[in-house]
Every structure is written in C-alpha cells, then in structure tokens.
Chain A
C-alpha cells in the first residue's frame, strides 16, 4: 500500500516508511508533542519542500529538531509556527513559491511573539494527554522518561529546601 503525505507530498509504501529510520524518528518526535504544536510543525516542514522534490525524512527530522530547540515554551513556539505558516502561505498564494532555506523568518516571528503566560508548557515539560473514551494507553518511552525526570526534579528541589 502506497501512502502520500498530504503536507510534504513524500510518497512511499507503508512498509518502506516503517522501515526507514528517519521516518520512524520523525513519527517519534511528533508523537511526543502536543497536537497544538505538532500540527503547525508539520505545516512548517511543508514550506521547506521544493515544487519539484519531496522533502527527505532525514532533512525533515533535522529541521524539526532545529525548530524544537529554538524555544522552550511550547505554546509560544506553536503560535509563532502558525503565524509563520500563515504568512508564508499568503506569499505563496501571491506567486512566491521558493522553499524555505533557513529559520530566520520563524526566529523573527518568535521575537515578536509574547510568552504564552497562561498555561504555558515548556517543551521539556509536556505531560501525557488523557485518552478520549477512557481507553488506557501506555505512555511513550519519551513521555515516560520526561515524567521520571519531572519526579527527580521535584525530589531534588525538595531535598534542597530541607537542607536550606
């Protein structure tokens, strides 16, 4: 069965996607993100695709990592990504179809995006979302690791408070 990505237009057999290390890694990155950040990130990746070539998985993984390292506040990053995608799509509609080659535009938008004060979640503090319909699902290894470190942070700060 061949699948085609609706964003970057990469096309391959399902089996090939599952076997490709970079594709699996991309899925792992996206599965660890809140949907409010994952969706604009995927749309942003689509802006890097040229008109004639699909975006390689290796490149998509690298770009996604670079984006996630730009800002710790996940909601702020999501807001900046959404705004970037919207503005660049308008430019594309106006005829400028050149693919992105760097993050400068996103960085400028980020500079102008205020911290998302209410309910801001840092990238390193993503909590697993409860499943709809009550179906239990084991957290991914990444989320499990993040939660273990969250517990360690609380214990460490508690010990520091006791010592002081």
Chain B
C-alpha cells in the first residue's frame, strides 16, 4: 500500500476529469458540495493502484483516460473504471539489436552452407 499523498499535478488532472464528467450530469453524479472530496478520493485511488506517477509521462494519459471515460460512461463511474481507458505509457526508444559475435557469424555461415548443400 502506498501512503504518500497525491502530487498537486495529479490532483489537478483528476479535478479536471471530474469536471468533465460532472457537466454530463450522469445518473449517480455527486452533489456539488462533495465534488472536491470526490476528486481527492479519485486521486488517492489512482495513487494506490497506479504506482509511480510522473507528470511528464502520465499527465496526458490521465487526461485521455478521462476523455474516453466521459465518452463511454452512461452513469457516474467508479475510480476503477478509469483503468479501462488508460493508455499505455509511451515506450522509450529501443536499442538496435547487438551485432552477432564472431562465433555466431561462423555458426550462421555453417548453417547456410548445410542448407545450400541439401538444396543443391
């Protein structure tokens, strides 16, 4: 269980997502005087389940997830529903495959030679 409080940027992103849901007036939406508590509870739920959040990597993911959630929700969602729409983190650029070692080159050459002999 992660006990640290949600960072400010995460609370702000969640508050914006809750705003988006609130204006849709979905069935079961919370009363106006409870929306701040709802947003903080959502941010806490994301902290608990989401692992280490990084503003640079995750702010746009959270925004896109709330956008998709708003597009699909037919009643007020639970925090768990956001994960259905959370896009993956962008993959870091991959390293190019390492060059084969001299032993591997020799082995490949032998295999090709064997194949050639079998065909011819």
A69-B71, A141-B32, A160-B7 known; A152+B23 contact, CB < 8 A: no
Q: Binary interface profile of A, 125-164, with partner B (CB < 8 Å = 1, else 0)?
A: 1100000000000000110111011111100111111010
Query: How many residues belonging to A are interface residues under a CB distance threshold of 8 Å?
Result: 33
B71 touches A70 (CB 8 A): yes
Task: Using CB atoms, name the residue of chain A closest to B11.
Answer: A156
B82 interface residue per 8 A CB criterion? no
**B15 at interface, CB cutoff 8 A:** yes
Indicate whether B41 reaches chain A with its CB closer than 8 angstroms: no
In the complex, what distance in Å separates the CA atom of A70 from the CA atom of B70? 9
A-B pair count, CB < 8 Å, reads 89
A164 to B40 CA separation, bound complex (whole angstroms):
20
Distance (whole angstroms) from the CB of B52 to the closest CB of chain A: 16
A88 within 8 A of B: no
B76, chain A: closest CB distance, angstroms:
12
Is the Cβ of B20 less than 8 Å from the Cβ of A156?
no
Query: Does the CB pair A144–B32 fall under 8 Å?
Result: yes
B36-A152 in contact (CB<8A): yes
Could you tell me if A160 and B8 are in contact, using CB atoms closer than 8 angstroms?
A: yes
Cβ contact within 8 Å between A142 and B11: no
Whole-angstrom CA separation of A25 from B27 in the bound complex: 9
Q: Enumerate chain A interface residues (CB-CB to B < 8 A).
A: 25, 28-29, 32, 62, 65-66, 68-70, 72, 123-126, 141-142, 144-146, 148-153, 156-161, 163
